[in-house]
Amino acid sequence: MSDSLDSLREETLVRIDSSRNEAEIEQLRIEALGRKGRLTLLLRGLKDLPADERPRVGEQLNQLRQLLEARIEDRLELVKARDKEKALREETIDITLPGNRWERGRIHPLTAVIDEIVDIFWGMGFEIARGPDIEDDYHNFEALNIPKDHPARDMQDTFFVTDGRLLRTHTSPVQIRTMENRQPPLQVVVPGAVYRHDDDATHSPMFHQVEGFMVDGDIAFSDLKGVLTHFLKQVFSEKAGVRFRPSFFPFTEPSAEIDIQCVICSGYRRNAQEQHCRVCKGSGWLEIIGAGMIDPQVFRFVGYDPERVSGFAFGMGVERIAMLKYSIDDIRLFFQNDLRFLRQFG
């Protein structure tokens, strides 16, 4: 009896100390102390012992039961504590790890150029207006003195939509819409997208213009010249030369095209052997703005009296200015959303 008690104690204690999880400990408890456990069976065997031995052996069995229960309880706590510690360690947030990178966006080069252009005019007291991209024939052509059979319509390959509507071919209809609804004095710039059926390295079916106009009682060509010269020197260079050439637009009379000295070569070749500049084709000048005094016929369309008001209007291509500012030779780069291109700006 004594031997089997000793071996039960030693064997069970060793197994308790080497148990690694709650399931193993529970298994041990059942094997020793369960209904058919080894210690339980020994306790049941007490009744078969001689009466004078029972108290002593009973005492020993009870002590062993208390010992095993206590050791099992301790081991269980230890294993639970270890499991918890392990879980906590695995859930710990390592704040020294690099975080998710927050990609910082950039202003698209065209938006940046539009903002810059508008800012310069804002500084001269111009306000900003916008109009619909889908226009009617009247505002896009008719009221701008471009009647149905006018050859100038051929210059603007138009995208027609249903119901006689079209995608505006220039920002000029906003000039009409503004004058229809308001009275002079007016000093307005109109940035926006325009659409023409054209697609190559220097033309895009959708591109951007900034339109502007100034109308009051006594606006003269010298006002046009002063405003646009100031603008060009601001947007390119104070030193750049500016020249005005006579031109034709149906909605202005007289009309002018305004050039700036070539931003690449300034019109000079270092020697006779040097190739002509690719950007200005050797002329030394770059055409930037179309402008002129608003045609009296346009004023009549919007209900102004051409005897009492005068004004000038101008328009420019945003992509062209951006291409010259940043030496970009293909307009399509602006619309391909290639991050390698876009990341160079801003």
Q: Which residues bind Zn ion (CB under 5 A)?
A: 262, 264-265, 277, 279-280
Query: Minimum CB separation from Zn ion for residue 214, in Å?
Result: 31
Report which of 316, 185, 289 is spatially closest to residue 229, judged by C-alpha positions: 289
DSSP, collapsed to helix, strand or coil, labels residue 271 as coil
In angstroms, what is the minimal distance from the CB of 264 to Zn ion?
4
Nearer CB in complex with Zn ion: 214/322? 322
d(CA 144, CA 153): 11
- Show Cβ contacts of residue 312 under 8 Å, excluding neighbours closer than 6 positions: 213, 214, 219, 221, 223, 224, 227, 252, 291, 292, 293, 294
Taking the complex as a whole, the smallest distance from the CB of residue 276 to Zn ion amounts, in Å, to 8
Q: Based on CB atoms, which residue is closest to Zn ion, 173 or 284?
A: 284
Q: How far is the CB of 262 from Zn ion (least distance, A)?
A: 3
Select 111 or 266, whichever has its Cβ closest to Zn ion.
266
Which parts of 196-269 are beta strand (E)? 206-216, 242-249, 252-261
Decide: 5 and 60 in contact? Cβ < 8 Å: yes
**Shortest distance in whole angstroms from residue 97 CB to Zn ion:** 53
Q: Find the Cα–Cα–Cα–Cα dihedral 256, 257, 263, 267, rounded to 10°.
A: -80
Q: Which is nearer to Zn ion, 57 or 262 (CB)?
A: 262
Adjacent-strand bridge partners of 187 = 214
Shortest Cβ 256–Zn ion spacing (Å): 21
Cβ closer to Zn ion: 237 or 336?
237
Nearest distance in Å: CB 287, Zn ion = 12
Report the C-alpha gap between 53 and 43 in whole angstroms: 13
Shortest distance, CB of residue 207 to Zn ion, whole angstroms? Answer: 22
Alpha-carbon distance of 225 to 257, in angstroms, equals: 11
Q: Compute CA distances 18 → 11, 33, 46, 134, 230, whole Å.
A: 11, 18, 31, 82, 90
- Taking CA atoms, 212 is separated from 11, 27, 33, 127, 275, in Å, by 99, 90, 97, 10, 37
Tell me how far apart the alpha carbons of residues 168 and 190 are, in angstroms, rounded to a whole number. Answer: 13
Report the residue number, 252 or 261, with the smaller CB distance to Zn ion. 261
Closest CB to Zn ion among residues 1, 279: 279
Residue 130: which of 187, 194, 192 has the closest Cα?
192
Q: Which region, left, alpha or beta, applies to residue 341 given φ > 0 means left and ψ of -120 to 50 means alpha?
A: alpha
Min dist. Cβ of residue 234 to Zn ion (A):
21
Strands 127-128 and 186-195: parallel
